[in-house]
């Protein structure tokens, strides 16, 4: 597995403007959509608009912990923290109970919290390592770039869904 499978979406650009603009973009894309449009998957086995935004809220919680864990003191006997992977498909099995407005509100709140945290990050902090068991050792800034690329990936997906009428 790649260290940052979302790097191609960021294409070397600064991740902070992406992270800063995502909440507004999500609201713009979903405003004025009907409940049916928001909650209907475009095809069997595919996520609905609400499912995608619920996934973004879930992953923002994960990223919040990973960022803070990366900068925390290492556990004795380990050179740095090992961050926990998660199975997005297992989490998605429960997405039917979630609604768009609370998913957006959760994403907005945690993203704002993460942006405030990132404003405190020094140049040295950016290079602090953590290990993802599936992807390998990465830096805090790799996690930030992953967040931004992940945003772009799902925003593009939402743009296709909202433009196509699916």
pLDDT tens-digit readout, 35-91: 999 999 999 999 999 999 999 999 999 999 999 999 987 777 778 888 888 888 888
**Mean pLDDT over the full length of the chain:** 92
Which tokens in the block code for residue 7?
């790097």
Q: Tokens 């050792």 map to which residue? A: 137
pLDDT at 142: 95
72/152: higher pLDDT: 152
Query: pTM, whole model, 2 decimals?
Result: 0.93
What are the distances in angstroms from CA 152 to CA 36, 53, 159?
24, 13, 10
What class is the 7-164 domain? Answer: mainly alpha
Of the candidates 53, 48, 20, the residue with the CA atom closest to the CA atom of residue 36: 48
pLDDT at 158: 97
Does residue 85 sit in helix, strand or coil? Answer: coil
What is the average pLDDT across 142-157?
97
pLDDT at 53: 98
pLDDT tens-digit readout, 103-138: 999 999 999 999 999 999 999 999 999 988 888 899
pLDDT at 166: 53
Q: Is residue 9 scored above 90 in pLDDT?
A: yes
**Beta bridge partners of residue 41, listed in sequence order:** none
């Amino acid at each position: 597995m790649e260290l940052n499978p979302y790097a191609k979406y960021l294409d070397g650009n600064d991740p902070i403007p992406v992270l800063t603009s995502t909440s507004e973009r999500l609201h713009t894309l979903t405003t004025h959509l009907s409940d049916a449009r928001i909650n209907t998957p475009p095809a069997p086995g595919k996520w609905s608009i609400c499912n995608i935004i619920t996934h973004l809220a879930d992953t923002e919680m994960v990223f919040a912990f990973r960022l803070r864990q990366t900068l925390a003191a290492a556990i004795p006997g380990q050179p740095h923290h090992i961050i926990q992977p998660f199975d997005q498909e297992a989490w998605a099995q429960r997405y039917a109970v979630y609604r768009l407005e609370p998913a957006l509100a959760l994403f907005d709140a945690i993203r704002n919290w993460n942006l405030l945290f990132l404003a405190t990050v020094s140049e040295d902090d950016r290079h602090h390592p953590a290990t993802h068991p599936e992807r390998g050792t990465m830096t805090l800034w790799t996690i930030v770039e992953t967040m931004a690329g992940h945003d772009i990936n799902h925003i593009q997906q939402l743009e296709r869904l909202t433009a196509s009428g699916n």
